[in-house]
Amino acid sequence: MSETVVCVEDFRMRFGDLDVIKGLSFDVYQGETFGLLGSNGSGKTTTIRALLGIYQPSGGTLSVYGKPFEPGVSGALGYLPEERGLYKKEKVIDTMIYFGQLKGMTSAKARSWSLDYLKRVELDGKANTRLDKLSGGQQQKVQLGVTIMNDPRLLILDEPTKGFDPVNRRLLMDIIAERHQAGATIIMITHQMDEVERICDRILLLKDGVARAYGKVTDVQDEFGGTTIKVRIGSQLPQSPSYRVISDDGAGNIELQPLGVQPDEIIAELVQAGVRVQSFLPSRRSLDSIFVEVYGEAAQGE
């Protein structure tokens, strides 16, 4: 079995009379990409802050590489918080060199790395621009660069592509994938379920301080019904004990979950009932659909 990088055992956190985390346990293994998922208020940020020693847990243990996190090993860890923290009155290159030196790099190495990175993310013409003169997306690119400098073994990324257009989102996801291929362990907090399905090995769905699901992506999909059927119909869908409706957009596009029957039995039943079936596509249930079921429609865009 791979080395355990992060270990959380029976973690509990209470703020006053409010129990925010209630006996949470999970592991993150060397070299995997782990998705920590949940709606706002589910306890994700609280867990990360306790893991990094910002909060003192009310109970349980949290460790990084076998012991409680210490600032002295910060060079081995890159943390991208949802609330970005850059010195906005400083030039881009000066800020990146400063953070590189904090991570143990020489000034020359930090400068060379930073200029290469800025070229990669199409900001090479902004090296001497003050950060407050950049757009939010440009600042976010700089923040990610600061996070991955010095090739940290563990990356914790909180909504790394939030607010990005599809082109820049793909660029940043490619950079994250490169860090994974280089051997980094990645914990990613995101609401972009397509990203999770594409790059995460295992996930944890956290709701109200409790693990709602935990394991390999395919295992979680199986836990919530495995195969679903996306069907487009031109008439009314009859009720049936053979399936349940997961989603219905009101325009004939419906997602069904089989209940103890095979997809071919369902289409035969629909045809026999006189339903005008225009398309019928069995597939593994999407994480997006599972997220909506667990957290509700409103949480999807949080």
pLDDT of the residue at 285:
82
Greatest CA span in the chain, whole angstroms? 74
CB-CB contact of 246 with 188 (8 Å): no
Domains and CATH numbers, the chain: 4-221 (3.40.50.300), 227-284 (no CATH)
CA distance 290 to 55: 30
Exposed/middle/buried for residue 137 (C-beta within 10 Å: 0-12, 13-18, 19+): middle
pLDDT of the residue at 136:
85
CB-CB contact of 137 with 119 (8 Å): no
Which tokens hold the place of 142? 């700089």
CA distance 134 to 142: 10
Tens digits of residue pLDDT in 111-170: 999 999 999 999 999 999 999 999 888 898 999 999 999 889 999 998 888 778 888 888
CA distance 280 to 271: 11
Between 76 and 146, the higher pLDDT residue? 146
CA distance 217 to 197: 7
Strand pairing report for 243-248 and 253-258: antiparallel
Phi, psi of 157 (to 5 degrees): -120, 115
pLDDT of the residue at 247:
86
pLDDT of the residue at 299:
55
Per-residue pLDDT band for 292 (boundaries 50, 70, 90) equals: confident
**pLDDT above 70 for 257:** yes
Which tokens hold the place of 226? 């495995």
Give me the amino acid identity at 223. E
Tens digits of residue pLDDT in 206-245: 999 999 999 999 899 888 877 889 999 999 999 999 999 9
- What pTM does this model have? 0.83
Per-residue pLDDT band for 254 (boundaries 50, 70, 90) equals: very high
Q: What is the mean pLDDT of residues 61-74?
A: 82
Which tokens hold the place of 141? 């690119």
Per-residue pLDDT band for 74 (boundaries 50, 70, 90) equals: low
pLDDT of the residue at 103:
86
Spell out the alpha helix ranges (H) of 149-199.
166-181, 193-199
DSSP symbol at 302: -
Q: What is the mean pLDDT of residues 56-67?
A: 93
Q: What is the mean pLDDT of residues 50-75?
A: 86
**pLDDT above 80 for 71:** no
Per-residue pLDDT band for 3 (boundaries 50, 70, 90) equals: very high
Beta-strand runs (E) in 81-168: 154-158
- Return the SS3 of 255: strand
